[in-house]
Structure 1
Amino acid sequence: MKVDSELARLIIEQMDGVAITDKEGRYIYVNDKWVKRMNKQPEEVLGKYVKEIYPQTKIDLVLKTRRPIIGEIFYNNEIEKDPVGIINYLPVFKDNELFAGLIFAIFEDMKVALEFKKKVEHLSRELEYFKEELRKIRGSRYTVDNIIGNSKAVLHLKEQIYQAARSTSTVLIEGETGTGKELVAHAIHDSGQRNVYNFIKINCAAIPEDLLESEFFGYEEGAFTGAKKGGRKGKFEMAHNGSLFLDEVNQMPLVLQPKLLRVLQEKEIERIGGHGSIPVNVRVIAASNVSLERLVQEKKFRSDLFYRLNVVRISIPPLRERKEDIPLLAQELLKRLNFQLGLNVKEISSEVMELLVSYNWPGNIRELQNVLERAMNIAWGEVLEISHFSWFRDHQGGASRNLRKDVVVGESLREKKTQTEKEAVEEALKICQGNKAQAARLLNISRTSFYKKLKKYSLF
């Protein structure tokens, strides 16, 4: 049914304040209430660009983007900032082509509208607060916004995260140590439909092999000596309906791999000492700092498990391949470290920034954070100067000497560090006559970390 033009005119005239523009943003109509409220006669504005009369208008943006803007506060006096109305800007289309712009204002019920807007904003802030608290409770701390950088590599990485978040398929994240694999796993979980459920993580290299199965699948009461009364849930049960992050999955023992494969295929687990299967609905996100394909070729990782994990694959670029992000990363790390360390270092000098960008960062973002933290502890002022990085320049020169530019700088330093660490672990075991708990205390590290190093250096 067509609306009578006279009826349409009556409706528009009785609306609180209406202005219509052409598709270029020039006034072609204003109603009587608009004239009264804005204190301008039609002949003063018709044919003129809205932007010339009211520089704060959003109609030009709406006409450019063809998207409406709703609920803008309008100030008649830019100096005093007194709100006089709430403005809605709408594009008008005819036969799918932009035809005009509509500006609809609310003046009469301004107080009611403002109160409503305040309530909506308050509820929005509360919602964000509770969403953040829920993340903490469920175990997921990071979002896509925590991935810093504007490089093509980072933008592509974020696109991959959003793509992965759309489904519940298993994800394999590959990247060098220190590139942020766990952060990406958190972001995938947070961006998906499972974000209201638990995000559970387990480091496959940090737990002794004989305890790993019980960590994964749990156990029943009396399953073994020392078993907790009433039994215990494993990580898979804890992650039910949510996500399970398997960090350093490349370190998973071969004996446990077929059991993990069965869970992924059958969607059920069996507790140690149990007599029945427990259904689980878990999305698995795995991470590896070495190529699983290479491990499959070396017979160190099952090919069938690799294919089951490698449904959605995300490769995180090393820092040396996105150096344009280093200034942004450095500034963000500076803020975090100031908060953590109770310091007030506000700036990084241009000379220091050039030094940071020129380095190849074999340890990636983790190494960058370590370098900044050390320099911040040296500095007394509010600016990080090149003098605070003399130790770093010495290391940089020594580590990169006689190496080609495309070779990862610092390899020899890592080799020396590895050898020194292995010797320290061996010496601690010797002093403590093989007592692993005492050796861990002697080295001032946790038993979990100590077992990890024993496995790393094949010292069991």
Structure 2
Amino acid sequence: MEAYNYYIQQLQSKEYTAEILNIVLESAYEGICVVDRQAIIREFNSAYSRFLGVRQEDVIGRKVTDVIENTRLHIVLETGVPERGFIQKINGQDMVVHRIPIWKNQQVIGAIGMLIFEGVSEVYHILQRVQNLYVKHLDTENRVEKSVACPLVKKDRVTFDQIIGNSECLQKVKRIGRRAAKVASTVLITGESGTGKELFAKAIHYNSVYANGPFISVNCSAIPEHLLESELFGYEDGAFTGAKKGGKPGKFEQANKGTIFLDEIGDMPLSMQAKILRVLQERNVERVGGTHSISLDIRVIAATNANLQELVKQGKFRADLFYRLNIIPIHLPPLRERKEDIPKLISYSLEQLSIKNGVTPKQFHQGTIKKMMEYDWPGNVRELLNTVEMLLVLCESEVITPHDLPEKFFESSNVQKIESHTHVLKEVPMKDMMEQHEYELIIQTLAECNGNKAKAARKLGIHRSTLYEKLKKYQLL
């Protein structure tokens, strides 16, 4: 925001240089777009280009309405009226934006737009941080328990906007999820491990009529079979040796007026499947050792990474339970089928993990992102998040380059490792050696400049457009 205000002040004054403005643009965390009087884009910083997934040189010189979805910068040019804190839908996401006219000699000579957050969901994360400070303050000043809640947010509340990605396959399942949230029908979420099934289940819950009720998650594979019945259905006082005095409500009771999430339902023992089916059919539960039924008003969401239809054929899963669960089927695509979402996932997770670990955010070199997009991610989004956290914590440089990646990123690729570029091969032509040296020099300079292309171009003694040409030549964009 400070960079944004400074940029406007400099544009409205006579004392500025293109070099200073470029530094401000590329230093800003926010996405910044500057248009002239004809609504032609004249400046477009790296943060904005990364968000839209476009290259700066491809959008500069184009009409802003052709580049930014639902923009109103051209309207601000006509009215001269600033628009602060407006919501703008871009790539299917609600964004918080500022649009400010640039005045000079009592005339509007252009306008500047800025994305404040990656999305409205980012406001939620900020409020979570406020809650943490709020609780910490109360704990310090008043010695109250840390369970005190800040009235600003509800912990763990998830929206579909927090499921990061703009790929068509992900947008499709999010549309199904939003429709499923409007009804009380049972949902079956399938997908490989690490695709975010529980996150998706929470998004359905918190966008439904059950949002103010509890969200109870049960990992069916983690509970020993002999304890499963009492855990799910609860027990009465004296139901068995060691039973808690007064009895205990089960997970289904705890989820009343809310949602129960049965994760890894494919691992549910056959002996329990019939009892689960009865609960789904009758919407009531009877505690172990009990004599009366307890009525339930709950939403049921189940999830599995197994092929339930195949398990039905093998006699390992009840067909009637499968059909009872499979009312609204939602299949989450693996990350390898939506690789276009990887840059945004990296950017988003980098910020969140930086906050979590209390470290300064680092930059990912374009070559690193390219290499990560070539990888198939068998562990899906969970593996990507773990990789980003590992690189964030262990990488000593401010820019994470391809050689910082683990060995697995090179094992299945026919592309030569980036480290091999540092070795001079026998009988290499002079032209190739010079290009190799130039390539290494550009990589090193970008790393020293924290990925700032304008600064790198100045350090190399070349124009920024020349640097872009070389980055394109060496496939570093």
Task: Give the TM-score range, shorter chain.
Answer: 0.5 to 0.7
- Does the 8 Å contact 1:219/1:271 carry over to 2? yes
- Offset at 1:280? 0.8
Matched, 1:317 2:294: no
- Is the partner of 2:262 in helix, strand or coil? strand
2:236 aligned residue (220, 232, 238): 220
The code of the aligned residue for 2:383 comes to E
Q: CA contact under 8 A between 2:362 and 2:392: conserved in structure 1?
A: no
Which of 263, 270, 285 is 2:301 aligned to?
285
1:346: how far off?
2.4
Tell whether 2:318 aligns with 1:302: yes
The within-5 A match list for 1:104-123 is: none
The amino acid that maps onto 1:215 is: E
- So what's the TM-score if we normalise by structure 1? 0.58
**Superposition deviation, residue 264 in structure 1:** 0.6
Which 4+ runs in 1 deviate beyond 4 A? 49-53, 73-79, 128-134, 394-398
SS at match of 2:217: strand
Gaps of 5+ in 2: 1-73, 87-97, 105-126, 132-148, 415-477
- In 2, the alpha carbon distance for the partners of 1:256 and 1:143 equals 32
Q: Distance in 1 between matches of 2:289 and 2:330?
A: 37
- The residue number in structure 2 matching 1:343 is 359
Q: Which amino acid aligns with 2:224?
A: P
Q: Determine if contact 2:231/2:251 at 8 Å carries over to the other structure.
A: yes
SS of the residue 2:240 aligns to = coil
Taking the aligned partners of 2:390 and 2:151, their CA distance within structure 1 comes to 31
1:273 and 2:284 are equivalent in the alignment: no
**Is residue 144–residue 187 contact of structure 1 (8 Å, CA) maintained in 2?**
yes
Change (3 A) 1:50 1:330: closer
Q: CA offset at residue 54 of structure 1?
A: 3.2
State the Cα deviation string for residues 283-332 of structure 1 (Å, max 9, x = none).
Answer: 10000001111111111100000000000110000001100000000111
What does residue 11 of structure 2 align with? none
Aligned position for 1:184: 200
Partner of 1:155: 171
Quote the residue 1:54 is aligned against. 79
> What secondary structure, in the 3-state scheme, does the structure 2 residue paired with 1:256 have?
helix
With over 3 angstroms needed to count, the CA separation of the structure-2 counterparts of 1:75 and 1:304, relative to structure 1, is closer
1:281 positional shift: 1.0
The alignment of Structure 1 onto Structure 2 pairs a total of residues equal to 289
Residue 204 of structure 1 aligns with an amino acid whose one-letter code is C
Provide, for residues 411-457 of structure 1, a one-character-per-residue CA deviation record: whole Å limited to 9, x for no partner.
Answer: xxxxxxxxxxxxxxxxxxxxxxxxxxxxxxxxxxxxxxxxxxxxxxx
Identity of aligned residues (%): 45
Q: Distance in 2 between matches of 1:51 and 1:315?
A: 43
Q: Distance in 2 between matches of 1:252 and 1:307?
A: 15
Residue identity matched to 2:237: E
For the pair 1:362 / 2:378, whether they are aligned, the reply is: yes
Contact 2:82/2:101 (8 A) holds in 1: no
Q: Which amino acid aligns with 1:172?
A: L
Cα gap change, 1:195/1:394 in structure 2, threshold over 3 Å: closer, same or farther?
Answer: same
Instruction: Give TM-score, length-normalised by structure 2.
Output: 0.56
Mark the CA change 1:341 to 1:74 in structure 2 (over 3 Å): closer, same or farther.
closer
Map 1:120-139 → 2, pairs under 5 A? 135-136=154-155
CA contact (8 A) 1:169 1:283 kept: yes
- What is the CA–CA distance in structure 2 between the aligned matches of 1:303 and 1:340, rounded to whole Å? 44
Which residue of structure 2 aligns with residue 172 of structure 1? 188
- Structure 1 CA distance for aligned equivalents of residues 168 and 394 of structure 2: 34
Alignment correspondent of 2:276: 260
Matched AA of 1:258: A
| Rg (Cα) greater in structure | 1
Quote how far apart the aligned CAs of 1:371 are.
Answer: 1.9
SS at match of 2:235: coil
8 Å contact from structure 2 (residues 372, 409) kept in 1: no
Could you tell me whether the CA contact under 8 Å between 2:76 and 2:101 is conserved in 1? no
- Give the secondary-structure state (helix, strand or coil) at the position aligned to 1:255: helix
Asked if 1:379 is matched to 2:395, the reply is yes
Q: Specify the SS of the correspondent of 2:227.
A: helix
